[in-house]
Structure 1
Amino acid sequence: MAHGDITHIDIPVGDVQAASQFYGTLFGWQIAEIPGFESYPMWSAPNGISGGGLAPRSEGFTAPRSYVEVDSIDAVLARVAELGGEVRAPRTPIDDTSWWASFVDPDGNEIGLVEGTTGGGAA
């Protein structure tokens, strides 16, 4: 994927098993845990392109979050502040070759960022 592409969508859930059954049945998504991401099943849409994860719901994560592929999280987060947004989560490792972060835009929308490549899954 290229800089600016939406690459992943996390859906916060309270019961991973129930959510996997619900979304798999409703949309025909293929949902599976992959090594290194246990308790965080990845979903893949029938088009083989769209995908994301069913992430545990938490106090700060209650709405779906789209992730945008970027060349440099650090550069994008610097621009976010310049443009009136706010960093929500700083650059954080996913694995040895990929990182994520998130920001809130001036309208209050949280958007995730991803840099690098993960070892597998729908991301």
Structure 2
Amino acid sequence: MTAPAYNTVAWFQVCTDNPGAARGFYGGLFGWEFTESDTGYELISHPGAEAPSGGMVRVPDAGKNSATFLVVVQDVAAACARAEQLGGKILVPPTTAPSGLVFADLLDPSGNHFGIYSPPPSP
């Protein structure tokens, strides 16, 4: 499997207060398949995919429902700094997950929420 090119949309996340309804809707509309993990985060794949391309997480109420795209970047901190220079806002500063994946959540100047990440270092 090849890694996605930097600065491209490489992941998406659905946040929903009703995962069953979301599975039914997106599964019925696009044929997406859902695989639960030990953490409660569900991985989303499309038929024939080599690997998942998105995830779904339960949120406490409908006011938090959203769908967000994530762009893979080489350097999350540098991308955050550039986003601020261009009028964006940082919602969640660069954060490193236990796996080594680094991510941040941002707003563009129009108020659209999106995420950026860099994958964990290769073993």
- Residues 47-68 of structure 1 deviation map (CA, whole Å, 9 limit, x = unaligned): 5277211122357843211000
After superposition, the Cα gap between the structure-2 partners of 1:22 and 1:62, relative to the gap in structure 1 and judged at 3 Å, is closer
Post-superposition offset of 1:116:
1.1
Structure-1 separation of matches of 2:81 and 2:96: 18
5-14 vs 44-53, which deviates more?
44-53
What's the counterpart of residue 45 of structure 1? 46
Larger radius of gyration: 2
Output the CA distance in 2 between the equivalents of 1:6 and 1:50. 14
The one of the two structures with greater contact order (alpha-carbon pairs below 8 A, sep at least 6) is: 1
How far, CA to CA, are the matches of 2:54 and 2:23 in structure 1?
A: 12
Tell me the number of residue pairs that the alignment of Structure 1 and Structure 2 aligns. 116
Letter in 2 for 1:53: G
Q: Confirm or deny: 8 A CA contact 2:107 2:114 kept in the other structure.
A: yes
CA contact (8 A) 2:16 2:66 kept: no
Query: RMSD in angstroms over aligned alpha carbons?
Result: 2.3
SS of 1:102's equivalent? strand
Counterpart pick for 2:81 among 78, 96, 101: 78
Aligned to 1:95, what secondary structure does the other structure show?
A: coil
TM-score by length of 2: 0.80
**8 A contact 2:95–2:104 mirrored in 1:** yes
Contact 1:16 1:39 in 2 (8 A): no
Shift of the 67–77 alpha-carbon distance from structure 1 to 2, 3 Å rule, reads same
Deviation at 1:100, TM superposition (A): 1.4
After TM superposition, the score normalised by the length of structure 1 is 0.80
Gapped regions of structure 1 (runs ≥ 5):
119-123
**Distance in 2 (alpha carbons) for counterparts of 1:97 and 1:79:** 22
